[in-house]
Amino acid sequence: MSFMLKPKVAHPDLPKNALGLTRRDYEGANSTLCAGCGHDSITAAIVEACWANAIEPKNLVKLSGIGCSSKTTAYFVAGSHGFNSVHGRMPSVATGANAANRQLGYIGVSGDGDTLSIGLGQFIHAIRRNLNMVYIIENNGVYGLTKGQFSASADVGSTAKKGEINNQTPIDPVQLALTLGASFVARSFSGDKAQLVPLIQAAMHHPGFALIDVLSPCVTFNDHEGSTRSYEYTREHYEEAVHTDFVAPAANISVQYSEGESVPVTMHDGSRIVLRKVDKDYDPTDRGSALARIRERLRAQEYLTGLLHISTNQPEFHELNATPDLPLNQIPYTKLNPGAAALAKTLSRFR
């Protein structure tokens, strides 16, 4: 993509969040992805969600692996530290970072190649630990940087740009996460910002592992007829099961939802999400029935989207490890050092 540098001047009338920051303050370096790439829309949604949630940039850490999607962490919130690690192993870096400082927010951006092939082991173990982070998969069914090989999420029967047909069964990160007990599982589409932004906002408030699998067409290698991950195909084959509205702590719910169709969920920090059921038979709080419904619709070649499952009572990584509220990287050395007398006492059993 050819591009020009955006001048860093903000119009005085740009809306400001609670921190007095504008959306421009949440932008990053210019994207070097192809024009029309779905990933850039997701980047825009992340910028919007961070602004709307009034995230202090220094309190966010951005993590990624290798691939087109993993590059995008450089394209949002320039005021946050970022770590672009090695292929498929962002979850371990996120685990270590979170272990050291539980107070920061962690957002990981990965792709279907990065997460579902070499990264599958680390992905599922981060879920098992219920690591408190937002994990976004920018899922396009294809390897872009190496020019168009199928990824592990490619559907059976989907064709590559040069006509090859995929005949291996896909790995669906949503179903995988549900079977592993993930506490926040969502699917969205890069072309549906209205759905995606509140999902990211809610994910940031979820105390545990929050997965958002975002169908994100690759305009260069997977947007042709015969592909099941093109813009056209995705638009025709995705249906929203549950719409999520995010309500910040202390804000009033202004919209009245009719009972039976909406489920308000209060998060640990006082924020609320309101799940509006588009599909009346869908229950996002019941893992088993949610999984069954997702499978049933997939068999009919329909992707159910929205916040597909949430449970708010699962202990996260630090609770499971009984660490203190004060981040480990801030405990003064004087508290970590047991001292010479304790050493002598400890060594007495080695005499």
Partner 1 sequence: MPYAAPNRVNDFVIKIATVNGTGSASANGLLMKAVFRSGVPVVGKNYFPSNIQGLPTWYEIRVTRDGYRARSGQVDIMVALNVETYARDLQEVTSGGYFLYDSTWPRPALMMRDDVTVLGVPFARLCNENFTGVRTRILMKNICYAGALAALHGIDLDVIRQLLAETYAKKPQLVDNNMKAIQLGYDFAQQQFSCPLPLRIEKMDATRGQIIIDGNTAAALGCIYAGATVGAWYPITPSTSLMDAFKSFGDRLRVDPATGRKNYIMIQAEDELASIGMVIGASFNGARAFTATSGPGLSLMQEFIGLAYYTETPAVVFDVQRVGPSTGMPTRTQQCDIHSAAYASHGDTRQVCLYPANPEECFEFAPIAFDLAERLQTPIMVLSDLDIGMNDWMCPEFKWDESYVPDRGKVLDDEALAKISKFWRYYDHDDDGIPQRTIPGVNSKGAYFARGSGHNQYGAYTEDSADYQVVIDRLRKKWLTAARMVPKALIESGNGTELGIVTLGSGDAPVREAIARLGAQGVKLDYMRVRGFPFGDEVEQFLEAHPVNFIVEQNRDAQLRALLTLETGVAKNRMRSILHYNGMPLAAKYVIAGVMAEVQDYSRPAAQLVRK
Residues that bind partner 1 (CB under 8 A): 29, 56-59, 61-63, 73-74, 78-86, 89, 91-101, 103-104, 121-122, 125, 129, 321-325, 327-329, 331, 333, 335-340, 342-344, 346-347, 350-351
Instruction: Compute the residue count for the chain.
Output: 351
Nearer CB in complex with partner 1: 56/239? 56
Cα 63 from Cα 135, distance rounded (Å):
9
Q: How far is the CB of 342 from partner 1 (least distance, A)?
A: 6
Q: How far is the CB of 318 from partner 1 (least distance, A)?
A: 8
User: Tokens in use for 193?
Assistant: 């910002």
Q: How far is the CB of 330 from partner 1 (least distance, A)?
A: 8
Q: Which residues of 225-257 are buried (b: 16+ CB within 10 A; e: fewer)?
A: eebbbbbebbeebbebbbbbbbbbeeeeeeeee
Nearer CB in complex with partner 1: 251/326? 326
Residue 186 · residue 128 · CB < 8 Å: no
Q: How far is the CB of 85 from partner 1 (least distance, A)?
A: 6
Amino acid code (one letter) for 125 = H
Q: How far is the CB of 203 from partner 1 (least distance, A)?
A: 19
Residue 158 · residue 140 · CB < 8 Å: no
Cα 194 from Cα 108, distance rounded (Å):
21
3-state SS, residue 92:
helix
Nearer CB in complex with partner 1: 17/311? 17
Q: How far is the CB of 5 from partner 1 (least distance, A)?
A: 13
Beta bridge partners of 243: 276
User: Tokens in use for 7?
Assistant: 């001048």
Q: How far is the CB of 140 from partner 1 (least distance, A)?
A: 21
Q: How far is CA 257 from the centre of its chain?
A: 27
Nearer CB in complex with partner 1: 299/335? 335
Nearer CB in complex with partner 1: 300/322? 322
User: Tokens in use for 320?
Assistant: 């499971």
Q: Which of 53, 69, 293 is nearest to 190 (CA)?
A: 69
Nearer CB in complex with partner 1: 64/228? 64
Nearer CB in complex with partner 1: 235/345? 345
Q: How far is the CB of 189 from partner 1 (least distance, A)?
A: 28
Nearer CB in complex with partner 1: 165/328? 328
Q: How far is the CB of 27 from partner 1 (least distance, A)?
A: 13
How many alpha carbons lie under 13 Å from residue 320 in its C-beta half-sphere? 13
With a CB cutoff of 8 Å and minimum separation 6, the contacts of 151 are 111, 112, 113, 116, 117, 140, 141, 142, 143
Nearer CB in complex with partner 1: 177/307? 177
Query: What does DSSP assign to residue 206?
Result: S
Q: Cβ-count burial of 2 within 10 angstroms (0-12 exposed, 13-18 middle, 19+ buried)? A: exposed
Residue 62 · residue 82 · CB < 8 Å: yes
